[in-house]
Chain A
């Protein structure tokens, strides 16, 4: 019962938070130079056509009114139209968001698989060679520019070794993509039983996911390591040693206590990467949501940017809510 109240209260807070985000985004986007009407109609547009589009879009009204119009449309599921794709932003995002989600999710899974074991290993035995490598990796990975690492990986695995297909999009251009259910090609091709599509999707997914994985393993490793160290040096760990508890038990308990921090950083990275994977998306022509938003900014196409900001904010807030629920489950102190 308490749980339902908690979730309810959080959801209630989400609405004003989202409004705030949309407001800031709106102001930001409006300060980008470029007349949307002109861009939509193209260079051959007449002044009359432009003026009437202005009226239709509400661009001749004051800013607060424009904001109100946008919110009102939002409530009806209308996120505006992109002049570049000439399609509704909602449609564009529904197509692109799963692509980013697929990429980021797999990237994070790889990052956890690399980062957590290395972090644990280096926390156990600080002077071992594995610990040194882990330390170096933890610092170094965060120093690598993601777009550069992507290029290096492309050079090694595509140009030189020819192990992966060309870095152009999410699936082989000659193949027919599976019917969209979730929007994620790997999942959809599995659901449709289409093996060649699946293999192609995975082949295209590996390199960009590996790029994200290798880089984001760094912060995860560091957090695992520092959190485990902190727990192992804490009073209760030392007390367990004092009570003659065997090493593996002390470590297991320390890990349980360190989990909240590790889960936190994973969730923060998850929210961050939705927009933060942009450069990798661009290098691999992934067609993801972040790329869509960046193109929007660079071409003064404003609605895609706002739509993306909204999507990404909702996603982050949702992730944070799930994480807090996980904390509820792990840590008995929080229920107070």
Chain B
């Protein structure tokens, strides 16, 4: 896939976090990722795998004190990492937007939600006050918030978690951006509300024809509506494949572990867990395969040589020296 076809293309991205008195911690390591227009790509990883770092780095806003030290992010023929702040401002939420987790913590507590929505319309779409308000109201309706007129004047802390999440989705979709990043959009919500939110999000994204990077810790969710699924571990993509191929023939040992956990299958889980994984300290050296210390199939080669992300069958890439072979 080259830059012309992709909606967004990440190349060799590297994000580091400085550490007091030592070498910096690498949160995202030489990561490549491409997303086609209109495609929904699921990205699965555990806490600390670098998902949020990646998500925010795309907008050139790595979580402090992180720093982007290398890489290119191609969007609309430009490298996002080389743009000025002003140019980035016009792209954010207008062309690339993000659905954030913990919405009540991210919305401004002193501003009513309707006003926060309307200001997006004013700033990015050039609307005047009344049409911005009308648009905000319409968006609240689109995300299925009950009694939207009253909710326009509500403050973030007055909303439930689910409703606040809908507001954040409304903000992200307001300008019909071409690319949406959904970072753990359903964490902390009730299971039933989760399902509703996911339904809403995928429906609206498809309707607008936006491409989406759907980040989650829950591999099961991706099976529902993602076109492709990727697995991230310690800042590196370990496996990426079209949905069917991913779930029918997973190849990376870590993917197997994630699936085993999701399927609540203890024997399977045990089969894919390293016998003393919990006791092993994984030195962050960047040498060899990052998964070595937790991998039950690791061999000597894995300690010293980093496996490349190689294509096994059409569109199915794995980063492993000894992936599972199928068929």
Chain A residues engaging chain B, CB cutoff 8 angstroms: 233, 235-236, 238-247, 249, 253, 256-257, 330-333
Q: Which residues of B contact A333 (CB under 8 A)?
A: 109, 155, 157
What separation, in Å, do the CA atoms of A240 and B100 have in the docked complex?
12
Chain B nearest Cβ from A262, distance in angstroms? 14
Q: Which residues of B contact A246 (CB under 8 A)?
A: 89, 123
CB <8 Å contact, A244 and B110: no
Best-surrounded residue of A240, A244, A245, A330 (most CB of chain B within 10 A): A244
**Using a CB-CB cutoff of 8 Å, which residues 139-175 of chain B contact chain A?**
155, 157, 171
Closest residue of B by beta carbon distance from A237:
B108
What separation, in Å, do the CA atoms of A140 and B110 have in the docked complex?
34
CB <8 Å contact, A253 and B108: yes
A-B CB proximity, top 10 nearest: A244-B92, A239-B106, A243-B93, A244-B89, A236-B108, A244-B93, A332-B155, A235-B106, A235-B105, A333-B157
What separation, in Å, do the CA atoms of A246 and B61 have in the docked complex?
15
B120 lies within 8 A of chain A by Cβ = yes
Closest residue of B by beta carbon distance from A254:
B108
Q: Which residues of A contact B155 (CB under 8 A)?
A: 332-333
Q: Which residues of A contact B123 (CB under 8 A)?
A: 244-246, 249
User: Number of residue pairs across A and B with beta carbons under 8 Å?
Assistant: 64
What separation, in Å, do the CA atoms of A6 and B133 have in the docked complex?
34
Best-surrounded residue of A236, A247, A256 (most CB of chain B within 10 A): A236
CB <8 Å contact, B93 and A239: no
What separation, in Å, do the CA atoms of A30 and B97 have in the docked complex?
70
What separation, in Å, do the CA atoms of A33 and B314 have in the docked complex?
97
Q: Which residues of A contact B97 (CB under 8 A)?
A: 243
Q: Which residues of A contact B100 (CB under 8 A)?
A: 239, 242
Number of B positions contacting A (CB below 8 A): 30
What separation, in Å, do the CA atoms of A81 and B191 have in the docked complex?
74
A-B CB contact pairs (8 Å), 27 listed: A236-B107, A238-B106, A239-B108, A240-B108, A241-B61, A242-B56, A242-B59, A242-B98, A243-B92, A243-B171, A244-B88, A244-B89, A244-B90, A244-B93, A244-B123, A245-B119, A245-B123, A246-B89, A249-B119, A249-B123, A253-B108, A253-B110, A257-B108, A330-B110, A331-B109, A333-B155, A333-B157
Q: Which residues of A contact B171 (CB under 8 A)?
A: 243
Q: Which residues of A contact B283 (CB under 8 A)?
A: none
Residue from the list B90, B105, B110, B124 in contact with A332, Cβ < 8 A: B110
Q: Which residues of A contact B88 (CB under 8 A)?
A: 244
Closest residue of A by beta carbon distance from B171:
A243
What separation, in Å, do the CA atoms of A20 and B125 have in the docked complex?
60
Chain B nearest Cβ from A334, distance in angstroms? 11
A contact patch SS? helix
Supposing A256-B110, A257-B108, A333-B109 touch, asked if A242 and B89 sit within 8 A by C-beta, the answer is no
B251 lies within 8 A of chain A by Cβ = no
B64 lies within 8 A of chain A by Cβ = yes
**Using a CB-CB cutoff of 8 Å, which residues 84-104 of chain B contact chain A?**
85, 88-94, 97-98, 100, 102
Residue from the list B64, B106, B124 in contact with A236, Cβ < 8 A: B106
CB <8 Å contact, A253 and B59: no
Chain A nearest Cβ from B176, distance in angstroms? 14
Q: Which residues of B contact A245 (CB under 8 A)?
A: 89, 119, 123
Closest residue of A by beta carbon distance from B88:
A244
Closest residue of B by beta carbon distance from A256:
B110
B4 lies within 8 A of chain A by Cβ = no
Chain B nearest Cβ from A268, distance in angstroms? 22
Closest residue of A by beta carbon distance from B103:
A239
What separation, in Å, do the CA atoms of A333 and B119 have in the docked complex?
21
Q: Which residues of B contact A239 (CB under 8 A)?
A: 100, 106-108
B111 lies within 8 A of chain A by Cβ = yes
Closest residue of A by beta carbon distance from B91:
A244
What separation, in Å, do the CA atoms of A306 and B109 have in the docked complex?
44
CB <8 Å contact, A242 and B61: yes
